[in-house]
Amino acid sequence: MSGRGRPPSRPRLGSLGWGLLAVGLVARLAWAFVAPTDLWFDLVWNDATAWSLVQGHGFTVSLEAPFEPAIFRTPGYSTFLAGVYGLAGHSVRAAFIAQAFVDTATCALLWSIAARRLDARAARFTLLLAVSYPFTLHTVGKLSAEVPLVFLATLLLAVVDRWPDRGGRRGVAAVGLVLAALVWIKPIFLPLPAFLLVAELLRGRTWRVAVTRSIAVGAVAVVAFAPWVVRNAQEFGRPLLAGEVGLVLFHGTLDFDAERDTIIREAFAAAPAADLDRYEAARRSFADPREVLRRDREHLDDALERMRTRPFRAALLDPLRRLPRLWVSTTYAIGPAWIGVGAAIACIAYLLLGAVGLRRLWDRRRELAAWWIAPVALTLAYAAFHVEARYTLPARPTMLLLGGAALASLTGRRKPTRAAAPSDTIAP
């Protein structure tokens, strides 16, 4: 670093931090070893497509040639699972164990962000909240995409947060690739460059820098995601993203009807055919991609008809009602009521703690603008058509960072102060 003095030292993880990470990892591994491994519906999809990739059959759930291409969801999470299965064999338990390590890495990344932008005290509290956060810990024991999604969303926050005022070409490439990985798992992240533009302007960047970065990041993500769209255009004659769009909108039009819970309960309670177990029945329901698309079209038509008959409710009332539900709880249609009530109480407690942290850091809201990208983007996107509180898990890292700042201020005498951030001034 010629011509520059040695940058001020940043907080170190220390023995306490390593201890918290160790406890977090042990807790996640314990749950990974005891969590139930029975699979149903979309969990079967994740498992079957991943194992097909390992066997060299391509992205499919078919068991015999010509191995019809799968279309229900994008292949990002299945690719992650395929990596695990390729190393450890076809084991759901191995996937849970891998997710335990990934989620622990998310906790360490959150500590790093807090240590850089806040101080050692706030970073330790952020780490404490992250390792003990029950909702991300629970997803370790599910064959669902939330664990890698939360890690990638946190990584994206960290990379954007480190961008210098000018330059940062490597940062653009990194953000674009992380965004592409998110989109490969959930296409809902595609509009994120628009929110990145706003965040960069709030951070004091010039219009030229903000627009250039937003466009460049979007271009990298689109190019990286393009092979999936091209594949679908070749196979099905349309540049499809996924075959569940209609299903999502269908449930979105039923979010506040008792009928939705009834449909979900009946779907999970329905017994498979006598000669099929539940896994095989679910796998076969995805095996014919044209049938998947036909059902999705029916769901889409039904959803659009409901929206036409209730335009004011669909366009305004339901999205407004979804906003709190996205962050508080979900319907828990297939579980006992006390689970939903307990989850709602816990979510509210964390949100209140995050609100205290937001108040303490309010005068730094522009400097920390990168922190708000995922929460705002996901909340607005999902409020438009569907409610599942778990879908906002990739936005929760910001809440944990704010919670760490809140605990530091409530237990100390000073607000968290900004830690040294050499990368603010040194372009990568």
What's the half-sphere exposure (Cβ side, CA atoms, 13 Å) at 320?
5
DSSP 3-state assignment of 393? helix
The Cα–Cα gap between 361 and 62 comes to 52
Question: pLDDT (tens digit, 9 = 90+) per residue, 351-378?
Answer: 999 999 999 999 999 999 999 999 999 9
Give the pLDDT score at 330.
Answer: 63
The Cα–Cα gap between 365 and 372 comes to 9
Give the pLDDT score at 21.
Answer: 97
Residue 408 in this model has a pLDDT that exceeds 70: yes
**Cα 139 from chain centroid?**
11
Give the pLDDT score at 252.
Answer: 87
The Cα–Cα gap between 386 and 186 comes to 14
- Whether the bond between 75 and the residue before it is cis, its omega within 30 degrees of 0, is no
Residue 370's CB: how many other CB atoms inside 10 A? 24
Give the pLDDT score at 14.
Answer: 87
| Span 324-350, average pLDDT | 81
Residue 266 in this model has a pLDDT that exceeds 90: no
Between residues 337 and 331, which one has the greater pLDDT?
337
Query: For residue 9, what pLDDT band results from cuts at 50, 70 and 90?
Result: low
Q: At 60, phi and psi to the nearest 5?
A: -150, 165
pLDDT-above-90 percentage for the chain: 69
Crossing angle for the helix pair 146-161 and 373-383, to the nearest 10 degrees: 130
Q: Domains of the chain: which residue ranges?
A: 14-424
Q: What is the pTM (predicted TM-score) of this model?
A: 0.91
Give the pLDDT score at 416.
Answer: 53
Beta bridge partners of 60: 69
Give the pLDDT score at 332.
Answer: 64
**Cα 12 from chain centroid?**
28
Give the pLDDT score at 214.
Answer: 96
Give the pLDDT score at 174.
Answer: 94
Residue 427 in this model has a pLDDT that exceeds 70: no
DSSP 3-state assignment of 426? coil
Residue 304 in this model has a pLDDT that exceeds 90: yes
Question: pLDDT (tens digit, 9 = 90+) per residue, 43-66?
Answer: 999 999 999 999 999 999 998 888
The Cα–Cα gap between 408 and 354 comes to 12
Task: Point out the least confidently predicted range of 182-191, 295-304, 398-407, 413-422.
Answer: 413-422
Give the pLDDT score at 329.
Answer: 75
Question: pLDDT (tens digit, 9 = 90+) per residue, 238-258?
Answer: 899 999 999 889 888 888 887
Do residues 255 and 391 touch, judged by C-beta distance below 8 A? no
Query: For residue 7, what pLDDT band results from cuts at 50, 70 and 90?
Result: very low
